[in-house]
């Protein structure tokens, strides 16, 4: 077997469809590189494919299955909120892309938490913390509330809807730097000096990013809620995890890549990435082998900056369309098109995902179960006493 093989040979070796192969590439399990004879096609590392085939044939023990569930593996929690199926994202059975066409963010937030009351009573809100840093204000207000808000385990379930709606307002107040009324997407648009078109794009982004099943930050929020902690503490846990460059901070790597593409040229930038087996940020997603529908929906609603268009075209040419733009790319492009503040993509992500964190925290609290997995110890063997 040669060092590099074509897609059809990998699929035959593994007994999978091309979509599954592309998912393996996106997860970093199989390396790919442009075919020197035809740069529009990709070749795949034969050694990676053989190793994966060996692991699949060997089977896995229960402990290995549990360990594998941590990273894009089998489902580990029961939820009725969100699922990814047939290459689409669904909120309680409704297509998120369809909802983004007409629904408000507040309406989607109620849908996610299963709260049918359209006018949940808001509670009094204090002025947000001062300072020019949106992220710092957001962390500060959540930390303050986590110290004083009642634990979910000691709150009446009838009050959870009002607590949730108030917390969404508090998060928006912190980002905007002022207590205001009105729809959340309108308040964010005013804070960033956007017109009606920008306002609607903010609404679309909030709806599309409101939840994404059991991602890293949502799992953190559920773990916090499983201890009986307050809604604000659960959201604070989710926000802390969101800051990572492999999660809510991924947009910055996309923006940096676009700057690099302007300097070196998009084709050269993509080729250099692939030559060193470095995945290009903003492209591909393990759950969407055929492309991220959130990115398609958002990118189709505005004209991305030229640098992003060129970068997208170069990646499509290099991978034959198998690694299409994901929502991190779309957020970076949106920020560039609307001339938003540098941290705006993260803030949009955080405000939007607050709706999902709240919904998952409430769902977890209803179970009354503590999330407490075990670790498989592989350190120095303890002595028997």
**Residues taking part in catalysis:** 285, 328
Q: Nearest Cα to 336, choosing from 279, 267, 282?
A: 282
Tokens representing 69 are 């569930």
Question: What is the residue whose two structure tokens read 């990013």?
Answer: 209
- CA distances 209 to 16, 58, 239, 292, Å, are 30, 38, 14, 12
State how far the Cα of 241 lies from the Cα of 90, in Å rounded to an integer.
23
Q: Nearest Cα to 255, choosing from 324, 300, 307?
A: 307
CB neighbour class for 288 (10 Å; exposed up to 12, middle 13-18, buried from 19): buried
Number of Cβ within 10 Å of residue 168's Cβ equals 21
Instruction: Starting at the earlier edge strand, list the strands of the sheet with 82-85.
Output: 82-85, 88-91, 94-95
Contact 326, 47 (CB under 8 A): no
State how far the Cα of 252 lies from the Cα of 26, in Å rounded to an integer.
19
**Given phi > 0 = left and psi -120 to 50 = alpha, else beta, which region is 365?**
alpha
State how far the Cα of 293 lies from the Cα of 88, in Å rounded to an integer.
6
Opening angle at CA 42, ends 71 and 294, nearest 5: 50
Rounded to an integer, what is the distance from CA 296 to the centroid of its chain? 15
State how far the Cα of 80 lies from the Cα of 369, in Å rounded to an integer.
16
- CA distances 88 to 83, 289, 351, Å, are 8, 11, 22
């Amino acid at each position: 077997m040669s060092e590099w093989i074509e897609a059809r040979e990998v699929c035959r070796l593994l007994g999978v469809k091309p979509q599954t192969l592309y998912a393996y590439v996106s997860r970093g399990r199989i390396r790919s590189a442009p075919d020197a004879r035809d740069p529009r096609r990709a070749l795949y590392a034969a050694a990676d494919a053989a190793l994966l085939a060996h692991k699949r044939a060997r089977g896995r023990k229960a402990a290995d299955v549990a360990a594998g569930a941590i990273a894009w593996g089998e489902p580990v929690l029961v939820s009725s909120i969100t699922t990814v199926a047939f290459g689409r994202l669904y909120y309680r059975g409704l297509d998120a892309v369809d909802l983004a066409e007409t629904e408000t963010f507040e309406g989607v937030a109620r849908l996610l938490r299963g709260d049918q009351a359209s006018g949940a009573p808001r509670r009094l809100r204090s002025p947000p913390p001062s300072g020019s840093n949106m992220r710092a204000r957001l962390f500060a207000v959540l930390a303050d509330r986590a110290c004083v808000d009642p634990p979910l385990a000691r709150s009446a379930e009838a009050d959870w809807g009002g607590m949730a709606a108030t917390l969404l307002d508090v998060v928006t107040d912190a980002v905007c730097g002022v207590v205001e009324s009105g729809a959340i997407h309108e308040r964010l648009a005013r804070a960033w000096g956007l017109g009606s078109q920008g306002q609607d794009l903010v609404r679309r982004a909030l709806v599309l990013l409101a939840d994404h099943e059991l991602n890293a930050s949502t799992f953190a929020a559920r773990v916090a809620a499983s201890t009986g902690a307050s809604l604000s503490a659960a959201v604070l846990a989710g926000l802390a995890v969101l800051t990572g460059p492999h999660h809510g901070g991924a947009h910055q790597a996309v923006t940096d890549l676009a700057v690099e593409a302007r300097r070196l040229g998009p084709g050269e930038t993509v080729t250099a990435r692939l030559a060193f087996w470095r995945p290009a940020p903003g492209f591909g997603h393990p759950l969407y082998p055929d492309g991220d529908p959130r990115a398609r929906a958002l990118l189709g609603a505005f004209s991305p900056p030229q640098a992003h268009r060129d970068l997208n075209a170069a990646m499509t040419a290099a991978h034959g369309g198998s690694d299409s733009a994901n929502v991190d790319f779309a957020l970076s492009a949106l920020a560039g098109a609307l001339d938003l503040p540098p941290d705006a993509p993260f803030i949009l992500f955080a405000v939007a995902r607050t709706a999902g964190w709240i919904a998952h925290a409430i769902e977890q609290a209803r179970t009354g179960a503590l999330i407490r997995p075990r670790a498989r110890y592989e350190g120095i063997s303890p002595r028997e006493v």
